[in-house]
Chains A and B, each alone.
Chain A
Amino acid sequence: MIEAVKQAINSFSSPVTIFSASLAMFALFVLFPRQITSPWCTVPILLLVLAFFAVGLTDEHFVKIVTAPDNVPIVAMIFIAGYFTWYAMRKACLNDARLERGEPTFEKTETDEKVLVFPYLIYIEFVVALVYAIGLVLWSILLKAPLEEPANPTVAPNPSKAPWYFLGLQEMLVYFDPWIAGVLFPTLIIIGLCAIPYIDRDPQPAGFYCYKQRRPMVIVFLFGYWILWILLILVGTFLRGPNWNFFGPFEVWDVHKVVPLVNVNLSDFIFIKGLGWGLPKQWFLREAPGILLCLLYFMVPTTVAAKTWLKKLVEKLGPVRYSVLMILLLSMLALPIKMYLRWAFNLKYIVAIPEFFFNI
């Protein structure tokens, strides 16, 4: 019975099914947060996750990966990040219900007085930082660092994995050129996070947990955090094996697993398969459709939305902040779009100019 379940999970697992299933669960969470964060739903979900680990721990291969010293914090991260997301959403939903009934929020019933960030908030954060520091010290004492022999430039371990906090980036590198996945996207993530207080300056729903009044912001943040960061780290850590092939959670890491991954550039699709002309010699002719497509991707949604359903937002933000917001949002969406294009059409690069090391 358990073997059959494991087999089923393994054969279901692939990058596209895991990603799509996570997207579906994410959609359920943001559509029905009140129901999902209620104890009637949360406790069974928690039990299910624990049961998954309990069953998993009977599997030799699963144990080897999950209990590797450098993977332990990622298991902890699932529970810690899950708990804090649940906590914030639960409080937000309860506050939303109170506001609907015309009652003041929890925070307002505690005190109506405004307090300063320093020392009140910083003090709490400092205590939390201390607790985590103690946890880190205990972890490093109890679990030995997995040190290996001196590095040899001609030998790469198989699979070669980045430190756990970079595994999301490494997973992005499967779909993008190094300058995008390693330089542009991390920079945009940092700039985007810094830009949040300048783009979203609405003072009205501030100072208490709420969801209804800030639904778009909460959804965008949780999508970036859970789907594009945590999920990619989990896939990179637990489900990527030798030769960076994808393996199910209970699948043995076979070095000789053969996965068909042949990829084709957009220019091949258009000029060879579509038009039958063969590739143009000049790179700018060859890549013109891809470059055009990228420009349209950023320009069309921005202008169309500004004229139609985001009219009010443009008035509120002004053209500069609106454009920055749209560029950040579209860059963020470009990652899952490119992943699905790779899975559906084996599309390697939309713009491929290896002459200049420039590929999108």
Chain B
Amino acid sequence: MFPNVLFEPPTSFKAGFPSDYEIGTVDMRWKDKFGVFIIRSAEGLYALSNVCTHLGCTVNWLGGENKFKCPCHGSGYYKNGINFEGPTPRPLERFAVSLAEDGQILIDKSKKYQQEKGQWNDPNSFLNV
């Protein structure tokens, strides 16, 4: 006798320790549940939204071609989220990343950082580890 509801996952979550992530790879483990790609580079770590900025389809990571690609209209993004092909007008959005008290990565999806507004310079958009 309950309504048929799908509850959405919380907007902020702990994503394990930075050492769980390999340098140079696009990590998929939170993609299905939260729609987040976590990418660790040599300098640090950032969380990319998987929503295409053209019309909102979910992008796929193509490892062989080293790019994110949207299945709806063919928009393409580099590993850092910058748009370079197809109709998309702006880069993928980043979520706030920080370290929780227990040393785990804390990702807050309610805070978004857009490159074209210069928000990727914000210290919360990038985690130095």
Contacts and interface: CB of A to CB of B under 8 A. Distances in A.
Interface string B75-119: 010000000111101100000000000000000000000001100
A143 B69 CA distance: 32
Nearest to A244: B74
Contacts of B58: 153-156
Nearest to A159: B71
A311 to B, nearest CB: 40
Interface in A156-172: 156-160, 170
B87 A243 contact: no
A117 interface: no
B85 A170 contact: no
A352 interface: yes
B18 interface: no
A242 interface: yes
Given A153-B35, A177-B87, A256-B62, A158 B71 contact: yes
B64 A256 contact: yes
A178 B90 contact: no
B51 to A, nearest CB: 9
B55 A182 contact: yes
B74 A175 contact: no
Contacts of B72: 156, 159-160, 170, 173, 244
Contact of A174 (B62, B73, B116, B117): B73
A245 interface: yes
Contacts of A255: 62
Interface in B28-59: 31-35, 50, 54-55, 57-58
Interface stretch (A93-101, A107-115, A257-265): A257-265
A175 to B, nearest CB: 7
Q: Give the interface size bracket for B toward A.
A: 20 to 34
Given A154-B35, A256-B62, A261-B76, A243 B71 contact: yes
B61 to A, nearest CB: 12
B74 A243 contact: yes
Contact of A261 (B74, B116, B117): B74
Q: Give the interface size bracket for A toward B.
A: 35 or more
A279 B22 CA distance: 36
A7 interface: no
A158 B72 CA distance: 8
B84 A177 contact: no
B50 A177 contact: no
A349 interface: yes
A176 interface: yes
B85 A175 contact: no
Contacts of B64: 256
B4 to A, nearest CB: 11
A348 interface: yes
Given A173-B55, A355-B116, A156 B87 contact: no
A263 B88 CA distance: 10
A354 interface: yes
Contacts of B87: 173-177, 263, 348
A177 B53 CA distance: 10
A213 to B, nearest CB: 41
B128 interface: no
A331 interface: no
Contact of A173 (B73, B85, B90): B73
Nearest to B64: A256
Contacts of B60: 156, 158, 243
Nearest to B84: A262
A359 interface: yes
A244 B70 contact: yes
A263 B31 contact: no
A355 B117 contact: yes
Contacts of A352: 89
Contacts of B31: 154
A245 B60 CA distance: 14
B89 A177 contact: yes
In the A-B complex, the 3 residue pairs with the closest CB atoms? A244-B74, A261-B85, A158-B71
Given A182-B55, A262-B84, 17 more contacts: A154-B33, A154-B50, A156-B57, A170-B72, A173-B54, A173-B72, A174-B73, A174-B74, A174-B87, A178-B54, A244-B72, A244-B73, A244-B74, A261-B85, A262-B85, A263-B87, A349-B89
15 contacts: A152-B32, A157-B71, A160-B57, A160-B71, A173-B72, A174-B87, A178-B55, A243-B71, A243-B74, A256-B62, A256-B65, A258-B65, A261-B76, A262-B84, A354-B89
